[in-house]
Structure 1
Amino acid sequence: MAHVLYIEDDKEIGNWLTNELKERGYDITWLISGENVEKYLSEVDIVILDVMLPGLDGFSIGKRIKNVNNKLPILMLSARTAIEDKIEGLSFADDYMTKPFHPDELVARIQVLLRRFSKTDQPIHIQHLMINPKDFQIINKETDEEIILTGKQYAIFQYFFKHANQILTKEQIYESIWEEAYLENDKTLMVHIRYLREKIEKDPANPTIIETIRGIGYRLKE
């Protein structure tokens, strides 16, 4: 089973979650701060990281971890629900989960990240699509044809894939891909997603891979 590095300074929450994950078969290394975190990174498969920590906060520690090993998945945990915090977290982390949460959901997200960052080159299947993680080649399994995306379509789909099953706001997606501020009512992202759906969905008018979450944004359904 996977080895989890869990960084959390709240002892009550830390004890509870450590015991929950151990009962489910995970190996856990629990730290109460990010001090000397680098020496643990070669031993673990995933990092669960709280935002509010003594000394350096979780955002700073997460960025430091990614600088050392950008192939190590990070799941942020936080009681901070503001969209600005989520956007900052997802600028480097691979998932962002708000407290309180159910351990079953946390474990499901851990499993998704472990599959995505698996050290094997086994293909990943999303409905009728097969994705080769080594080169992110996308194959339509029904026709056995490669789906060719434009640069922006490719970047958008990779971003969705990286954050599968998460509801992403238009602002998050746009600012991550275009690296500039999102302007309300800008249709650029919507147009790119429409063309992306025409390539990857069986029925682009009724998408089942990239779902529209009305009034918020989108979600890639794995």
Structure 2
Amino acid sequence: MNILLAEDDQQLAASLTEVLTAQRYHVDVVNNGEMAWDYLQCGQYDLILLDVTLPKLDGLGLCQRLRRSGSQIPVMMLTARDTTADKVTGLDAGADVYMVKPVNLQEVQAQLRALLRRGKTALPPTLQWGELSLNAGNYEVRYGDRPLHLTPKEFAILELLLRQGSQVVNRDLLRDRLWAAADYPSDATIKVHIKSLRQKLRAAGAPRDWLETVHGVGYRLKTP
């Protein structure tokens, strides 16, 4: 599951990221509303954790823009504004949940699970590309009738590639989406993961060029 965390409080952002990553969520962190909007245009997220008082574009404005665009992605607002009028304003802007800081991390996780359960009906049960299917809910991957046993990082790389379809995914995007900033891997490390993923795909019956390298750019899936 992919979560976008828009929060300019670095300490809170770090705490939420640590807790959610431990629960096997992938978390992208941004510190202003315009950057959050840019991320939402480029990637697919299952939920947004959204601070109200963001610079450049505040959380209310971002949520309104998101709803006007037709997106129904679940939004959990986190804010120090605690009056009834503030809560009404946040919910009217399109938030699904409005939580007042300081937040209880266990309660955040419970609300997050509830929102994700609610949103599952709108999500496809699997990602499909030719004979390959990936179920992000139960971490099952199959090529035809053969299962693939992937490491968590290989699974995350494959899911990102599937969500991008035939678009080229460069190494910088892989680093930004799948690794914490403090643990950015080298190009050589990414190549090792890609090589291992290719070997497992071929062993399951996929063509050698199923996962293509676009030299000097990145990787993409071959059109079925």
TM-score for the superposition, normalised by structure 1: 0.51
- Structure 1 segment 134-213 matched on structure 2, within 5 A: none
Match of 2:100 among 98, 105, 109: 98
CA RMSD of aligned residues (A): 1.8
> Closer, same or farther in 2 for the Cα pair 1:40/1:95, shift >3 Å?
same
**Structure 2 unaligned residues grouped into runs of 5+:** 126-224
Matched residue, 1:71: 72
C-alpha offsets along residues 40-83 of structure 1, whole Å, 9 cap, x if unaligned?
A: 22411000100111122111111112222431010000011011
Verify the 8 A CA contact 2:6 2:36 in the aligned structure 1. Answer: no
1:39 deviation in Å? 3.6
> Closer, same or farther in 2 for the Cα pair 1:120/1:49, shift >3 Å?
closer
TM-score for the superposition, normalised by structure 2: 0.51
Distance 2:22 2:123 in 1: 26
Matched residue, 1:81: 82
1:23 deviation in Å? 1.2
- Find the residue that maps to 2:81 and give its secondary structure: coil
Match of 2:110 among 108, 113, 124: 108
1:10 deviation in Å? 1.0
> Closer, same or farther in 2 for the Cα pair 1:38/1:53, shift >3 Å?
closer
1:121 deviation in Å? 8.6
1:120 deviation in Å? 4.9
1:35 deviation in Å? 1.2
- Find the residue that maps to 1:75 and give its secondary structure: strand
1:98 deviation in Å? 0.7
Verify the 8 A CA contact 1:79 1:100 in the aligned structure 2. Answer: yes
1:12 deviation in Å? 1.2
Verify the 8 A CA contact 1:76 1:96 in the aligned structure 2. Answer: yes
1:21 deviation in Å? 0.9
Distance 2:104 2:98 in 1: 14
Matched residue, 2:23: 24
Distance 1:73 1:48 in 2: 9
Matched residue, 2:10: 11
Matched residue, 1:54: 55
Counting helix residues as a fraction of each chain, which structure ranks higher?
A: 2
Distance 2:118 2:85 in 1: 25
Distance 2:99 2:79 in 1: 7
Q: What count of residue pairs does the alignment treat as equivalent?
A: 121
Q: Work out the percentage of aligned pairs sharing the same amino acid.
A: 36
Verify the 8 A CA contact 1:38 1:68 in the aligned structure 2. Answer: no
Q: Which amino acid aligns with 1:116?
A: R
